[in-house]
Amino acid sequence: MMTTLKKINLSNFTSLLYAFLFAFIFSITTLSSALESPTYSVERKALGVNNTLKKVTFTKDDADTCASVVAALERSHYLGLRFNDNLSSKILNQYINILDPAKNLFTKKEIDEFEKIRYWLDNTLKKGDLTPGYALFNIYLERSFEKLNYIIKNIDNWKKKLKLDGNDEITLERKKAPWPFDKNELTHLWEQELKNAIITLQLEEESDDDITKLLTKRYKNRLNRLMQINSEDAFKTYINAVAMSFDPHTQFFPPRMSEDFDIQMSLSLEGIGAILQTEYEYTKVVSLIPAGPADKSGLLMPGDKIAGVGQGLKGAIQDTVGWRIDEVVNMIRGPKDSFVILKIIPAGQKGSQNFKVISIKRDKVKLEEQAAHKKVVPFKRNGATFNIGVITIPTFYLDFKGMQEGIDDYRSTTRDVFFLIEELKKEKIQGLIIDLRDNGGGALQEANQLTGLFIESGPTVQIRSRNGYMSRLEDTDPSIAYNGPLIVMVNRMSASASEIFAGAIKDYNRGIIVGAQTFGKGTVQALQPIDDGQLKFTNAKFYRVSGESTQNRGVVPDIEFPSIYNSAETGESSLDGALPWDKAEQASYIPYPDTNIKQILSQLKEKNLKRIETNHDFRYLKDRYELSKNIFNLKSLSLNTSKRIKDKENLDRIELEIENRLRIAKGEKPFSSIDELHKADPRKKGVDDEEVVTEIPNKKEEKEKEDILLKETEEIMADFINIAQSRGYKW
């Protein structure tokens, strides 16, 4: 563009400028004019809808807030991006993906029309002009209205209207699919959605009449909710498309949501203790708060998708597909000791199995239940007994107020672990396991100080700011609380501060990391008030002392265990637009001799592989993970009822074989049917409103009893102790 401009005279330049301005204004007018009259004429009253679909428009306050958000992002975000053509293009892609992630609302012709504004959004946003964003949003509203009306019209007498015995299939992942060519292709996609909803209910053994009633109620509710969407919703959607074009952790929370500024939020205040986010039309569980109600129940898992919410043990379940996340959160919250019903699609199942209906008792997360705790495992092998200490750290906590007020016994992770280590030393442990599985992080300084309990001194983490300045947190205390064999357990849900601690232990050659690749949350966020709302933005990035970032890749264990979480749907790398992994300069630090760890590690890996090759529990974990991964990777589902029933029966058969293989290996009686299996395991059971599962009995005891990963870690520690003692290694 600049090369061309240099070659033209002033007169031509003026003409060209006016041409561009006219093209821009024309494109906006074209987008807006598409909304002048509904393309689908439907009697709203006949559908039970009292309101009319209204176009949304922005206000001067919206414009001012937009300009303020743009200025704040340019000024403060870690990436230092400017609002230019490149970012404008990215914003358009992000916005279209938010409005139509399944590519079943916009046609190719409309997408081509949107191309006219691809490189103009930066100019309009800086001035607070929201016209392009609102024009697209109004088209989204009108098309959503058409879609819901089409489906509602075809629900009635669906048995005669729809063919459910053909070769049609519904594509589950449409990110790479082409845009529908015209309205005919759109309506075909809408029909497929309806067919899939019908077959899913058929698999749940609902009668034809009940299917009609359920789907009519579901889609009329969605239509009513669509009619309630207002300008504030449009503003939030568009401005967050702008914010999330920087990275997925950057978001704007308008005034109505300021109380819950982090929508990927903890429901720890009289809730269930879950961190949620929006994924397409569902509310997805990102992680669980350790020792929270959901965690204790054993019924909810990261990756589960919430499709409905009800109150009490017998309350009707309200369909929440397509709802705003703050509305879902408000339904899940409630008085302490009351129950909330959740209708979920279990992680990795993509609706190919039955929905599960569970109920969780609301409560507050108690600090004492999140505190670090210990146990001693007398591990016997070949006539010898090893005393192995295990310290479980559910989260990195710190009583900031108590610390600031100078209270001597204020609670903190490091202080508690120090005293636990002192107690374990009195019990003459020979090795120590630090269990950080499912620890989502917390206070950064605790990760630094906790590392200091195991090393003499030195930096523990590096923090790079927007301007490239690298600061470091350091352990300056040369004393060591524990200097024996050390193993750190992690999994996919170990994040942030957990990754900093595990990474430091690995970089210093101080211990061995076992488990699964960690979450990969290696960025820092800050909050800035914008008018009456708040902007959360990424302003720094973590690096290990080796220079490797914890962002995106997390920490890779020295000895890997089978994962129970699918990395494709959990972890930082599963988020669209996540900042990449990179490497910074190595910090100045003195690691322990690598021969200590490296020579031991090769032997530990060899012994570990020999054990798990014949370990029935490990084979079971691998088989379960592969089944979950295969289901998650399904590209399409048949829209033939008979074939879907056979597909479900085949998946049930594989699941039953996996369970029975383990039971037979352990000398237990195999299950005779999938129904018997589901009755024995509430997590796998599909139930109706009369059979809501409220807990897995003795979950804590069963978890400890069947914690095969911890048992194998104890085996590794016994090997570690033997080799270290025979070689006289000390740290």
Residues annotated as catalytic are 496, 507, 521
Please write down the HEC assignment for all residues of 507-518.
HCCCCEEEECCC
SS3 of residue 570 by DSSP: coil
SS3 of residue 398 by DSSP: strand
Long-range contacts from 84-88, C-beta under 8 angstroms, 24+ separation: 84/122, 85/119, 85/122, 87/122, 87/245, 88/118, 88/119, 88/120, 88/121, 88/122, 88/123
Q: Report the candidate in 348, 17, 290 with the shortest Cα–Cα distance to residue 172.
A: 348
Q: Report the candidate in 183, 163, 179 with the shortest Cα–Cα distance to residue 171.
A: 179
| Degrees, nearest 5: CA angle 42-47-48 | 135
Q: Going by C-beta distance under 8 Å and a sequence separation of 6 or more, which residues neighbour residue 658?
A: 620, 623, 624, 627
Q: Going by C-beta distance under 8 Å and a sequence separation of 6 or more, which residues neighbour residue 373?
A: 391, 392, 420
301 close to 360: Cβ distance less than 8 angstroms: no
Which runs of consecutive H residues, i.e. helices, occur in 182-318? Answer: 183-203, 208-227, 231-243, 293-297
SS3 of residue 420 by DSSP: helix
Please write down the HEC assignment for all residues of 65-96.
HHHHHHHHHHHHCCCCCCCCHHHHHHHHHHHH
CA atoms of 220 and 216, how far apart (whole Å): 6
CA atoms of 15 and 600, how far apart (whole Å): 75
Q: Report the candidate in 69, 73, 84, 79 with the shortest Cα–Cα distance to residue 467.
A: 79
Find tokens 């914890």 and name the residue. Answer: 550
Task: Compute the 3-state secondary structure of the chain and give helix, strand, coil in percent, each to the nearest 5.
Answer: 45, 15, 40
DSSP 639-701: --HHHHHHHHHHHHHHHHHHHHHHHHHTTPPPPSSHHHHHHH-GGG----GGG-B---TTHHH
638 close to 647: Cβ distance less than 8 angstroms: yes
